[in-house]
Amino acid sequence: MTRVRPSTIIAGLGVVIIGLAASLAAGQSAQSASLVGRVADESGAAMPGVTVTLKSPALQVSQLSAVTGAEGDYRVLELPPGVYTVTFELTGFQTSVRTDVHLTTGSAGRVDAMMKIGALSETVQVTGLSPVVDTVNVAGQTTLVQEQLRSIPMGGTMQEMLPLAAGLSMQTKPDVGDSNLASRSAIITYGVVLQATLDIEGINTVTAHDADTAVYLNSFALEEAQFKTSGNNAEIAFPGVAQVAVMKSGSNAFHGSARGSYENPKWQGNNVTAELAAQGITNPNPIVDPGFYDYNFDLGGRIVRDRLWFYGGTSQQSVKQGQIGFVAAPNADGCWFASCGGTTPGTTAQSLPQFNWKVNYQVRPTTKLIASQFSAVKHHSTMGGAGQLRPLPSTTFQRQPDQTWKGEMQSAPRNNLLLDVIYGYGGYHTHYIAQPATQVSQYGFPDGTDVKGNPSSIELSNNLVYGPNESVQDRPQNRYELKATVTYIPSEPHLGGTHQFKIGTTDDWENAGTRVLEDKASGDYQLRFSRGAPSQIVVYNFPFATSTNTLLGQAVYVTDTYTLRRVTVNAGVRWERYRNFYPEQTKEAGQFSAIFPARTYPRQDVLTWVDTVPRVGAAWDLTGNGKTVAKASFGIFGDTMGDLYSNAFNPNGQATQTYSWTGPCLVTQYRNDTFNDTSCDVTPQFLATLPSLTPLSATGGINSVINPDLKQNTTSEYTTRMERELIPNVAVSAGYVYHRILNNYNTNLQLLRPYDTWIPAAGTFADGLTGSPVTIYTYPASEVGAAFNVLKAANAPTDRPDTYHSIEVAATKRYSRKWTGAASFWTTKNHRWITGNSSGGNGNTPQSPNDDRFAVDDTWTWEARASGTVNFPMDISLSSSYRAQSGEREQRTQQFSAASSVLRQGSVTLRMGEYGEYTAPTVQIVAIKATKRFGLGQGRFFELNFQVFNALNASGITSINRLTGPQFGLATGIVSARVARFGGGITF
């Protein structure tokens, strides 16, 4: 783990102190709730001076109090999520009490009161009227409380909570009973992949420029999880979903649980239809021995009553399963595709042990200290793209420890002033190795896959790879974060209304490397074949064991929550600075040191972005009773280039040179030419000639030039929303969200081969499906040579933005009358420039006319969600969930290759039709859960539960091979088959 220098921390603290001294601001932290309201007499006149008292088991003090202001308004901030009793008292009036007030993470609950003349001893009590409409915050948000996390049938990881939130989905197939355990996937927010955040106890764990996080955690230790999808204020840096995970806490009463569950391979069905069986598919994700299991234990309580609380827990999740089209060994004819029949299916083993603890220390009634830690170790036996085109021997074995820890101080030196400071860490270190003998010896690799004579290889006509993984990496990823906020509530109205001011600062120190620690025994190269004929060789600059990159991020934001009668305006501005560089480092010599020599590289600043962005939103309580609220917001969001952006320019990062290679072949015992099922390694004599040859292309930092003028990509977001409480505990909403993304960029453009110089290739090329002639562009002979292999980053033109229009409707029912539920539907109209092409260009940043072919996605997508729980007599409950999404939109592609004299880039992949020309059927998943509780006395319970995932045994296709060729049209992703799970546990 990379250490942070004390001088760096001191400098960061200095920035915070200066920022805090500059001004004051308002609002609670993302991990807490708040309560607002207005107190009036029977005539509706405001009542100042009313004492508002809150009590809850979630409070570490006996109670909290506030006094209403001149307009009868009150606000109580930094409340831990929980169930509260709110008491309103004023001499000469009856005491008014509201019980069972549920407050969730990030929400601003509203509880108004009407005071009647009478004695304090007279009490009017109202039960079960929890706020379901937020009259203050404009963000679209979903909060899952502990009861929902336990009752809804779903997988146990954080990623499986996301689909329960309106507007969110994952860029992967839906989970069925933890079939996606310990996997990561980009998060889609209203149809678009955006930079997200995941605050675990206040520390953001989304490192680099990612739309997800590789810090894995499950739901067992969580008190609540919140997902804010749109309308975020200036506290939030990025346009993607802001996720908040709040760990359970101790309390004055001891509490804990021991739970476990199990899926047996015999309890899984088979959802392969006759059509899928004809493709050679037997079972998409078969669970194999020992099956799936999880268990968790936790305990919380007090060390000193009302002063020192503790919580701790441990858990384990594990599964072993197959994967559609994933092969461990070929058939007798040497075919590696499952559709050939007779192949040996591959399996994947995944496990995720996790440990966590938290301590709360109430130093004095106005000051609290909190410390916490999550840690986990992910094991995955087949990383690196396991699937139809990458069989087991070409994958990697992964071990990844990760952790998140923090120290926090909350202090309220005055009733209207609050200080919150957090310092912590979120990161991981991923270790990959080529498949060892323990995993592949039974498939013809007694010494593992990375051995001499077994070269990494690929067949270009179908993209099937062979041999050890071409780049076995070691990836440390570290983020240290310091946050500080000051909240201030003026005691008197200004501009006719009340204010909450808040100023906050965030300082991040990120460090990451994508390293290869040693030369490969099989050789630091990949051989490329075209229909069985030697075509190209790609050589790598391994090793580069000291590669590292750094990102320093600073932000200061100011917000004001201004309430004037029934209108609340949330306004703010955020200043950000991201500075990316790589420090001095030394590259070691490797196999191809004549091409990639050992040397020391000096420190280099790569890119700095500074931006100031506004956010504004308004909530209008139309009726004044907190039941009907109209909301709107506008915001501009900047982005981070991520700590690994400089890796593309770091000369001590991965680099390649691609050369033409037509043989001869060195025959070994390994059949790496999969098209012909023969052996063909490169000869030592040919490798010796490489320094004198001219490469076709090159990648990596040694071939890239820095563009200091690259603009920051920005997202403009507009939202409107209407929320209505229909009846107590039931709310409905409808909204519109618009995203416009400017300045997308591409780091792989060939600087010295500009668009205008590309010419039609002289060869004859045909569409492999229709036979129609195809024009392919190549660069001219005058641009051949290593001197032209120069890459540079560039922004997309301003007339090529990505835009997304989304419409959403939702309904929620908070628990009452024995049941709770939620449902949502949203649809998005996309206008997206398609990325990815082998010439290096994208639809919005074309390298050549090849990139202009069918370059826009103008499709519609939609998703629907529903979940609910009903409690029956005898402590029996039944829960269910439903998920549906539009079928996958597909686009046909084709790979072309030719002699370097004809196609000078060697090979190219072209889009052959409109995006969405092919659409898979709708995917629908139903899950159910039945639970029976047995009381053991003194607040202890024993529970048995039974779950069925994919209860209708749907066989929704989630991805299809659209590469023109023999495998075209074959399914590469199907939801897992129906599976049953039994579980049980004890709680107290």
Q: pLDDT for 38-48, tens place per residue? A: 898 888 888 88
pLDDT on residue 106 = 76
**Alpha helices, DSSP H only, in 394-436?**
none
Q: Tell me 839's DSSP state.
A: T
The token duo for 410 is 């909350």
Q: Tell me 906's DSSP state.
A: S
Determine the average pLDDT of the residues in 4-20.
36
pLDDT on residue 405 = 97
**CATH superfamily, region 255-291+304-356+363-595+611-705+715-987:** TonB-dependent receptor, beta-barrel domain (2.40.170.20)
In whole angstroms, what is the distance from residue 60 CA to residue 360 CA? 8
* pLDDT value at 841 more than 70: yes
Domain 140-247 annotated CATH 2.30.40.10? no
* pLDDT value at 806 more than 90: yes
* pTM of the predicted structure, to 2 decimals: 0.88
- The DSSP string of 955-975 is --EEEE--BSSTTTT-EEEEP
Q: pLDDT for 544-570, tens place per residue? A: 999 999 999 999 999 999 999 899 999
Helix/strand/coil for 439: helix
Report residue 147's pLDDT band, with 50, 70 and 90 as the boundaries: confident
Task: Please give the mean pLDDT across all residues of the chain.
Answer: 91
pLDDT on residue 664 = 95
Determine the average pLDDT of the residues in 623-641.
94
Amino acid sitting at position 604 = Q
In whole angstroms, what is the distance from residue 714 CA to residue 635 CA? 10
Distance (Å) of CA 930 to CA 815, 868, 927: 17, 12, 11
Tally the residues of the chain. Answer: 988
Whether 472 contacts 544, CB under 8 Å = no
Whether 145 contacts 71, CB under 8 Å = no
* pLDDT value at 421 more than 50: yes
> Which of 144-153, 265-274, 831-840 tops mean pLDDT?
265-274
Report residue 79's pLDDT band, with 50, 70 and 90 as the boundaries: confident
Q: pLDDT for 322-356, tens place per residue? A: 998 899 999 999 999 988 889 999 999 999 999 99
Q: Tell me 93's DSSP state.
A: B
- Cα dihedral sign for 283, 956, 877, 299? positive
Determine the average pLDDT of the residues in 705-732.
95
pLDDT on residue 550 = 98
* pLDDT value at 69 more than 90: no
Whether 153 contacts 124, CB under 8 Å = no
Report residue 26's pLDDT band, with 50, 70 and 90 as the boundaries: very low
Nearest to 642 by CA among 174, 210, 81, 177: 210
pLDDT on residue 114 = 87
**CATH superfamily, region 31-127:** Carboxypeptidase-like, regulatory domain (2.60.40.1120)
Q: pLDDT for 562-600, tens place per residue? A: 999 899 999 999 999 999 999 999 999 999 999 999 999
Q: Tell me 94's DSSP state.
A: -
Q: pLDDT for 230-266, tens place per residue? A: 999 999 999 999 999 999 999 999 999 999 999 999 9
User: 3-class secondary structure for 339-393?
Assistant: HHCCCEEEEEEEEEEEEEEEEEEEEECCEEEEEEEEEEEEEEEEECCCECCECHH
pLDDT on residue 44 = 83
Place of tokens 């005491």: 95
In whole angstroms, what is the distance from residue 817 CA to residue 868 CA? 13
The token duo for 93 is 């009036």
* pLDDT value at 6 more than 50: no
Integer-rounded Cα Rg, in Å, for the chain is: 30
pLDDT on residue 294 = 96
Phi-psi region of 729 (alpha: psi -120 to 50; beta: other; left: phi over 0): left
β-strand partners of 660? 536
Whether 959 contacts 971, CB under 8 Å = yes
pLDDT on residue 2 = 40
- Residue scoring higher pLDDT (480 or 82): 480
Nearest to 633 by CA among 726, 559, 575, 578: 559
pLDDT on residue 351 = 95
* pLDDT value at 128 more than 60: no
Report residue 120's pLDDT band, with 50, 70 and 90 as the boundaries: low
- The DSSP string of 194-220 is ---EEEETTEE---SS-SS-S---BST
- Residue scoring higher pLDDT (901 or 980): 980
Determine the average pLDDT of the residues in 476-486.
96
Report residue 947's pLDDT band, with 50, 70 and 90 as the boundaries: very high
β-strand partners of 169? 188
- Pick from 272-281, 470-479, 804-813: least confident: 272-281
In whole angstroms, what is the distance from residue 395 CA to residue 314 CA? 30
Place of tokens 């569950």: 261
Residue-range domain boundaries for the chain? 31-127, 140-247, 255-291+304-356+363-595+611-705+715-987
Whether 461 contacts 965, CB under 8 Å = yes
pLDDT on residue 845 = 92
